[in-house]
Amino acid sequence: MTPEISLWPLIGVAVIIAGFVLRFNPMLVVIVTAIVTAFAAGFGPTAVLAAIGSGFIKTRNLPLIILLPLAVIGLLERHGLRQHAQNWIGRIKSATAGRLLIVYLAARELTAAVGLTSLGGHPQMVRPLLAPMAEGATEARYGKLPERIHHKLRAYAAATDNVGLFFGEDIFVAFGAIVLMSTFLHEAGIDIEPLHIALWGIPTAISAFVIHAWRLRRLDRSIAREMREEEGADKPAVPAVPAVQEGR
């Protein structure tokens, strides 16, 4: 006889959704979700503390791994990495923010598809290089940009990295999510190889590339329109000259 499976631990999913919808602190939401899920699964306070302590011991070197690259990137930025990136892309006359991001999207998906997920990322690629290059390409065409255009370009740069990584890594057969799906389906009586799951990620990755590349093409047109409106708003109004009546 199949033992009954308790669904109460799934209440953690509702807690994490509610926390993010209400815009609470993400770290607090994750901690509360873990505690609620543990209690719903029948863990006592001692078992919960033991699990938290065990997780801390296993990942105690993680902050060092994260902080060392940040220190190197900060040192490079202090010595003008962002300015050099902007000046270099500004010398390419045909470069636009949309074209640059489309090239990066393709490179990000292809490298993630072969397991090289660490080649990009927000702290080591988007902030110090990709976003400044997108801003530099746009400034080379339109001159000084309003602050809202700067924020829009940075947001699109971050989104491009997310899309490329998320859909590219689903093609890599050794990706953890693919192994997890294969194991879950196997336990449910559905035998499927991880390679087949990875292959079916290719159409999704291609669709994601086409859709986001189209959005990036629209970004160029949107910036051009906003800059024309900005130039029109900056021009002083020409006073109307009264018409001279004939015969006087």
Q: Do 135 and 72 belong to one domain?
A: yes
Q: Whole domain around residue 71: which residue ranges?
A: 67-233
Q: Are 131 and 160 in contact (CB under 8 A)?
A: no
Q: Do 42 and 91 belong to one domain?
A: no
Q: Do 140 and 226 belong to one domain?
A: yes
- Domain membership of residue 244 (yes or no) is no
> Averaged over 66-87, what is the pLDDT?
66
pLDDT tens-place string over residues 159-191: 999 999 999 988 887 777 777 778 877 777 788
Q: Do 168 and 104 belong to one domain?
A: yes
User: What is this structure's pTM?
Assistant: 0.67
Residue closest to 223 by CA, chosen among 157, 150, 166, 120:
150
Percent of the chain predicted with pLDDT > 90: 23
pLDDT at 3 over 80: no
Q: Do 185 and 141 belong to one domain?
A: yes
Q: Tell me what pLDDT residue 1 has.
A: 42
Q: Do 192 and 95 belong to one domain?
A: yes
Q: Do 13 and 104 belong to one domain?
A: no
Q: Do 108 and 214 belong to one domain?
A: yes
Q: Are 134 and 162 in contact (CB under 8 A)?
A: no
pLDDT tens-place string over residues 178-224: 777 788 777 777 888 888 888 888 999 999 999 999 999 999 999 99
Q: Do 48 and 71 belong to one domain?
A: no
- Domain membership of residue 148 (yes or no) is yes
- Domain membership of residue 219 (yes or no) is yes
Distances in Å between the Cα of 228 and the Cα atoms of 63, 121, 140, 144, 150 are: 46, 33, 15, 13, 16
- Domain membership of residue 178 (yes or no) is yes
Q: Are 47 and 76 in contact (CB under 8 A)?
A: no
Q: Do 28 and 115 belong to one domain?
A: no
Q: Tell me what pLDDT residue 209 has.
A: 95
Q: Do 38 and 75 belong to one domain?
A: no
Query: Where residue 28 falls among pLDDT bands split at 50, 70, 90?
Result: confident
Q: Tell me what pLDDT residue 2 has.
A: 47
Which range, of 47-51, 58-62, 102-106, 129-133, averages the lowest pLDDT?
Answer: 58-62
Q: Do 114 and 223 belong to one domain?
A: yes
Which range, of 23-32, 73-82, 118-127, 172-181, averages the lowest pLDDT?
Answer: 73-82
Give the chain's domain count: 2
